[in-house]
Chains A and B, each alone.
Chain A
């Protein structure tokens, strides 16, 4: 039976193994990840800043989703380690990790007929056990997640009757109900139109404001700049640049990542970079 009744959403006591570096619960140390014999990420050292939205960007096949899978332990490390509060992820019971790290993979699937509320209730499984079944705390977390994702009117609808944006919000609500300090989301806005994508990203921002640490993979660089506190640019499984978007986004970086010449404008409202792609960099001129 689980002695702690709920996971603190805003842990003030977060452990930092390296006091000189930014406050971080989840890190990697010399991490290598591979699909079969293809090494995708190698020698990666990374620290995710607490209570900030971290967005991982990079070209197709650069290892964004692979990295997220590694952080979420769905893809085991070939060498090196992912460290949670200084402990290797492989040495922590998976259920205990599930109370600290939430994970929403790309294009998740659900059985037909599953309702929104049923789905969100799954988020409470890490907090339950044989002896500790459904509790008032679980009910509260589910209601709060439904409210956060603005799903109350749809709670009893089967998932397959919802629009893409609503369905995505339902999945995020499940991850929210898990009440994990760290939340990994793999392309949560793929297949969503502009309005639905904004809804999802605003929800993510509000989670960070509540003290959680969301980590997202996003495809669109301008959107990533708009919502990231901390941006990690990946290419060929290695970090090319990281930091606040305003500090790292340059035409040189865009060329290096995507092979595209661009002009960088500034969002007149939020002062974040807006990338205006001009043309594909002529081959030979690429970095």
Chain B
């Protein structure tokens, strides 16, 4: 595939969808500031309520959703390449649940959400990565993509149960904790975003550095070695990048499942299996996916909102079923 084809088939449609999603995210909401009022506020209108809603609530929320989508989409593409498994998704494998659980434990131990950096979430995500991939390496599980997901589901369930136990232990923090059991970008502020920028930025940098070598791993470890790569080291860097990205995203928005599955799935349909192209397209499709899910979550139950995590699950579950039911799983 030439660069021109990558642009026409992947980057252009991706940019179009992302632009539409950003506009929708700024103009549409569960409240009573409709598209016309929001648009005039954006263009400098004098409507104070509308200006506040659009610039102080929806704009930060949009930026947060972009960051979350970017991190999760890239993390999904990396994890799928490292595990050579099209179902390897941070949410499904329990990486997000691990990150959330780590945050919940820190909250119960007395940390406050305001002072809690993203690093606790990164540690939890890292532990989740290692446990899920370790479980998949157990005898007989290595070659079967579905088993990896089963291992992840078991781990995810365990982490969710752990978080629920924490809810019982510490009712005081219940509201805060409940946020960490289902993802959302509502009410997030720019300060929250800036706190995770170093973590997500480092994750993205590692992703860019490791992408060529990780791409070669799709030809098998022996071929990759023959091409001058060290498979063990490459996987370790990839997993570190996933932990940083998922930890950062989870610290921002709680566990948001299926984004890491849906985004690479769509990108693969657009530009084929090459990881470097997948990453380039995922940069656009990740934010677009989370933004779209967030906009829909504001509209379906007006004047109430549905949490983002519920929406991505509704979107992602059919994709999961489609991937599993397709004639055979695409091998990576």
Inter-chain contacts of A237 with B (CB < 8 A)? none
- With A69-B222, A103-B222, A109-B219 as known contacts, state yes or no: A114 contacts B227, CB within 8 Å: no
For the complex, is A70 an interface residue (Cβ under 8 Å from B)? no
Q: Which residues of A contact B274 (CB under 8 A)?
A: 114, 118
Chain A positions within 8 Å of B229 at CB level: 94-95, 125
Cα distance, A101 to B215, chains bound together (Å): 20
Contact in complex: A108, B273 (CB < 8 Å): no
Asked if B331 and A97 sit within 8 Å, CB to CB, the answer is no
Please determine whether B227 and A110 come into contact, CB atoms closer than 8 angstroms.
no
B212 contacts partner chain A, Cβ-Cβ < 8 Å: yes
Residue of B nearest to A118 (CB): B274
Alpha-carbon distance A96/B209, docked complex (angstroms): 19
Write the B88-116 contact mask toward A (1 if CB under 8 angstroms, else 0).
Answer: 00000000000000000000000000000
Whether a CB of chain B sits under 8 angstroms from the CB of A98 is yes
Which residues in window 225-279 of B have CB below 8 A to A? 225-230, 268, 272-274
What's the least CB distance linking A226 to chain B, in Å?
A: 27
Q: How many A-B residue pairs have CB under 8 A?
A: 82
A 116-138 contacts with B by CB, 8 A = 118-119, 122-123, 125-126, 128, 130
Smallest Cβ-Cβ distance to B274: which chain A residue: A118
B330 interfacial contact with A, CB 8 Å: yes
The answer to whether B216 and A125 touch across the interface, beta carbons within 8 angstroms, is yes
**Chain A residues within 8 Å of B226, by CB:** 72, 74, 98, 101-105, 175, 178
- A141 to B219, alpha carbons, bound, how many Å? 20
Q: Does A277 make an interface contact (CB < 8 A)?
A: no
A103 with B230: in contact, given A111-B331, A125-B216 (CB under 8 Å)? no
Q: Is the CB of B225 within 8 A of A74?
A: yes
* Chain A residue with the shortest CB-CB distance to B220: A109
Q: Which residue from chain B places its CB closest to the CB of A99 in the assembled complex? A: B228
Q: Which residues of B contact A61 (CB under 8 A)?
A: none
Contacts of A119 in B (CB 8 A): 219
* Contact count band on B: 20 to 34
Chain B nearest CB, measured from A92 CB (Å):
11
- Within B191-236, which residues are at the interface with A (CB < 8 Å)? 209, 212, 215-216, 218-223, 225-230
Within 8 A of B (CB), among A64-97: 69, 72-74, 94-97
B168 proximal to A (CB < 8 A):
no
Q: Within the assembled complex, what's the spacing in Å between the Cα atoms of A41 and B219?
A: 27
Does chain A have a CB within 8 A of B301? no
Let me know if B225 and A72 touch, CB within 8 A. Answer: yes
Q: Which residue of A lies closest to B218 (CB)?
A: A111
Chain B residues whose C-beta falls within 8 Å of the C-beta of A115 in the assembled complex = 1, 272
Inside 8 A of A99's CB, which chain B residues have their CB?
228
Choice from A72, A95, A113, A175 contacting B273 with Cβ under 8 Å? A113
Q: How far is the CB of A273 from chain B (nearest CB, A)?
A: 32
Within 8 A of A (CB), among B305-332: 330-332
Measured between alpha carbons, how far is A115 from B273 in the docked complex, in Å?
10
Assuming A112-B273, A125-B212, is B1 touching A118 (CB within 8 A)?
A: yes
Which residues of the other chain, B, contact A118 by a CB distance below 8 angstroms? 1, 272, 274
Check A122–B219 contact: CB distance below 8 A: yes
Give Cα A119 to B220, complex, Å.
Answer: 12
A residues less than 8 Å from B209 (CB atoms)? 130
Since A74-B221, A123-B227 are in contact, a sample of 13 more A-B pairs with Cβ atoms closer than 8 Å, ordered by chain A residue number, is: A74-B226, A103-B222, A104-B223, A105-B226, A108-B223, A109-B219, A111-B331, A113-B272, A114-B273, A114-B274, A118-B272, A125-B228, A126-B227
27 contacts between A and B (CB under 8 A): A74-B221, A74-B226, A94-B229, A94-B230, A95-B228, A95-B229, A96-B228, A99-B228, A103-B222, A103-B223, A104-B226, A105-B220, A108-B219, A109-B219, A109-B331, A111-B330, A112-B273, A113-B272, A113-B330, A114-B218, A118-B274, A119-B219, A122-B216, A123-B227, A125-B212, A126-B228, A175-B226
Which of B's residues lie within 8 Å of A, judged by CB? Answer: 1, 209, 212, 215-216, 218-223, 225-230, 268, 272-274, 330-332
The 3 closest A-B pairs by CB, nearest first: A98-B228, A103-B226, A95-B228
